[in-house]
A = this chain, B = another copy of it.
Amino acid sequence: MKTLIVGASGGLGGALARALVGRASQLFLLGRRASVLATLAGAVGGEALPADLGSELEVQAALAETGPLDLLIYAAGAVSKASLRETSRMEIERLEVANSWGLALTLKYARFNPAARVVLLGVYPDLVMVPGLFAYAASKLGAEALLGVARKEFRREGVRFTLVRLPAVATGLWTPLGGAPKQALNPDEAAQRILEGTLVESPPELLEVR
């Protein structure tokens, strides 16, 4: 099972990589932070592909390294807390790139084996439609719409898409918000549940992790 994790230098991406040891025949780790990726690649026997999701050329170059994939997990993400009155266009763009455009570019350049799977780590809309999270909500729910269209466009290639709704997971994503909520899932536990729910014969279109 040739696998690519996008956002592998994040907390949940790293947990997914560790959980895939022994299950993935090849493990490609795409992320922004090269040193984190290199350490992780050494630990799990994967291949580090450092790339900035905001650069189409870098995403294209990274995807050219993988060959056809059996599993692609999009675990990249960024969040920041600021009201509409306080947010700059640059900050909106930063979140959009990590949460949505990176997915579009990854799918654009990915090649898939028959019956490949794509997994997007998403959110519960009610949990993100709150004051201060408009750029996060817009980009995460925009990515969900993108996945809905991708599902139709890639049907003839035989690719199956799963949207995973996740509650808060205790990763560095929460650092700019002052830390994860108390009830946040442990990333290793979240990774187990994501893989248990998606690595099945017929992957569901929607997987709700609570």
A191 to chain B, nearest CB (A): 26
Binding-face segment, A41-49, A68-76, A99-107, A182-190: A99-107
A149 within 8 A of B: yes
Whole-angstrom distance between the alpha carbons of A35 and B132 in the complex? Answer: 37
Whole-angstrom distance between the alpha carbons of A14 and B85 in the complex? Answer: 28
What's the tally of chain A residues with a CB closer than 8 Å to chain B? 42
Which chain B residues lie closer than 8 Å to A145 at the CB level?
Answer: 125, 128-129, 134, 137-138, 140-142
Closest to A97 in B: B89
Task: Say whether A149 contacts B130, CB under 8 Å.
Answer: yes
Using an 8 Å CB-CB cutoff, how does the interface string of A56-88 with B read, 1 for contact, 0 for none?
100000000000000000000000000111011
Copies in the complex: 2
Whole-angstrom distance between the alpha carbons of A69 and B152 in the complex? Answer: 42
Taking a contact as CB atoms closer than 8 A, the residue among B132, B137, B142 that contacts A148 in the complex is: B137
A103 to chain B, nearest CB (A): 9
Whole-angstrom distance between the alpha carbons of A96 and B104 in the complex? Answer: 13
Task: Say whether B153 contacts A134, CB under 8 Å.
Answer: yes
Whether A138 touches B100, Cβ cut-off 8 Å, given contacts A105-B89, A145-B125, A148-B129, is yes
Q: List 22 A-B contacts (CB under 8 A).
A: A56-B89, A84-B107, A84-B146, A85-B108, A87-B108, A89-B104, A89-B105, A92-B104, A96-B96, A100-B142, A104-B134, A128-B145, A129-B149, A131-B149, A132-B153, A134-B150, A137-B145, A137-B146, A137-B149, A140-B145, A142-B142, A142-B145
- CB within 8 Å of B: which residues of A? 54, 56, 83-85, 87-89, 92-93, 96, 100-101, 104-105, 107-108, 125, 128-135, 137-146, 148-150, 152-154
